[in-house]
A and B are shown apart, each in its own frame.
Chain A
Amino acid sequence: MWARWRDALMRYAERRLPALTRYRQVEALPIRLHARRVYILPTRFGLAFAVLLLAMLIGALNFNNNPALLLALLVIAMTMIGFHHCVAQLNRVELRSVGADPVHAGQPLRLRLGFHAGAGAERPQLVLDQEQRTTCFTLQPETDGKAEILLPTTRRGRMAVGRFRLWTQYPFGITWAWSVLHPDVQVLVYPKPEDGAPTLPLGDPREQGQRLRFPGDDWHGLREHRTGDPPKHVAWKASARLERLLVKEFADPQSHAVMLDWQALQLDKEARISRLTRWVIEARDRQIPFRLRLPGAELGPGSGNAFAATCLRELALLP
């Protein structure tokens, strides 16, 4: 019995009050606001104002004071028309895009929300908020507009932007119209770079600018023979002269790239990511070419902002 009642109630709520149920769930962009999902309630000031209006009305009626009644009715009529202006602020507003430049975990993310206002009046005094972080903006009719809001970030990876409330107290601060926006959008958060990390592992100073890849095609030098070296690499003349078996080494001259190797770090996972992130940033800022070797992927060599962004993205998305 109770369950049936509750189901019926929920179905009714779903039908009549979609913003309480359906529109609180994530939705794909674009999200278009319409009258059915814009809600309006008096503000606290509005409640006090209503009491005032009631007192004015009763007073005017009681003393049969018609000019006072005219005034009270005019004020009430203006207030009521204000309700509609309040809802019209949000009606036919469309959230078209949500995006952000990635930041590192711990830094505030500047989220850009692209709105488009439908026909109608200018829409000033719009407020977008999410958990006490608010931003005010104005939309012009039939024009795109944007709002920016700072969101806190805590961990790397993809972050759902979460649920926003778009609201306004326009025009008189007596009522409060709002609608819930929960776009199905995720933004990327880079890992937090390690503080006080060791400097970039530029390796042996000799090797500065002489990174090689073994084996290669160009002759590189001689070295002690190790078991398993192919016989055709043995430098017979040199071996005879030194009475030790030496082999010729061949290598490709490598780009002057620093190797940032996951495997070379003896830390736990998040610490490794954190340090690699710091090094990527450092290499990017110092314009040093580098390579990044991660489990299952090797990036580079490369340099510049775009390459660094790719690396950071990979780091961010590591499982």
Chain B
Amino acid sequence: MGDPAVGRCVTTEGPLPWILRIVVGLILAFLLLPVVVVVLASFSTTAYLTIPPEGLTLRWFGQVLRDPAYLAAIWFSVRLAVAATLLSALLAIPACYALHHRWVPAAATISALLMSPLIFPAVVIGVALLQYVSMLGLRGNFAVLVLAHLVIVTPYMIRTTLAGLSGCDPALEEAARVLGANRVLAFALVVLPAIRSSLAAGLVFALITSFDEVPVTIFLLPPGQATLPVTIFTAIDQGVDPSVAAISTLLIAATAVVLVLIERFASVRRFI
């Protein structure tokens, strides 16, 4: 009855007990600690952050931004993520439409199968694909890498698209049909706009997932080329140098910007 505290009652109203506030503060500190440490280290003259910190410098950022290996890796990652995401949307949206309307028998089973790469250990998909491309003589093929990423990101695409479709009033599409639109037009003019925020969520999630992917990618890279995370991974494996902190800080900043943009134009909650 016009009372904000009644709308969503987990328990009774009132602030959290102070002890719980302290605990939550500590947990958040734990979550953010490694991020803060990386950012501070990237401005420090030493490879690791020290106490007390030593000199301040922007040298590592300059080094990273001039390093052709990192620049190539960023470009490679972006191309891969965009190609995999767009292809995934192109194949997944029609499939979801058919599944949603139960135009195929055993639609529930089929959606479960389409989602199954999500529950497979990624490293297993990676080694299986490694053996597969070796047999086919396609090792290091970019198209194979795009298809591998498509397998990884499609479950996210399917999940958000199906959620969008089931949240969409079926009467909308029926109304468009009664008003004279054929199925394709009704889908394009009415259904797609109605589920656009779900689609956007799926696309963003797919992009981020593909950009971040390591355990499958690492087995399938063309010689001499690598995605950005794999480049950082290899750099760390070979021993830490300060440029790793700098490129990590750039990734942290990019992630923060993306999140703030999402929060501004939609809500982060719907992306989970």
A, B assembled together? no
Interface residues of A (CB under 8 A from B): none
Chain B residues with CB under 8 Å of chain A are none
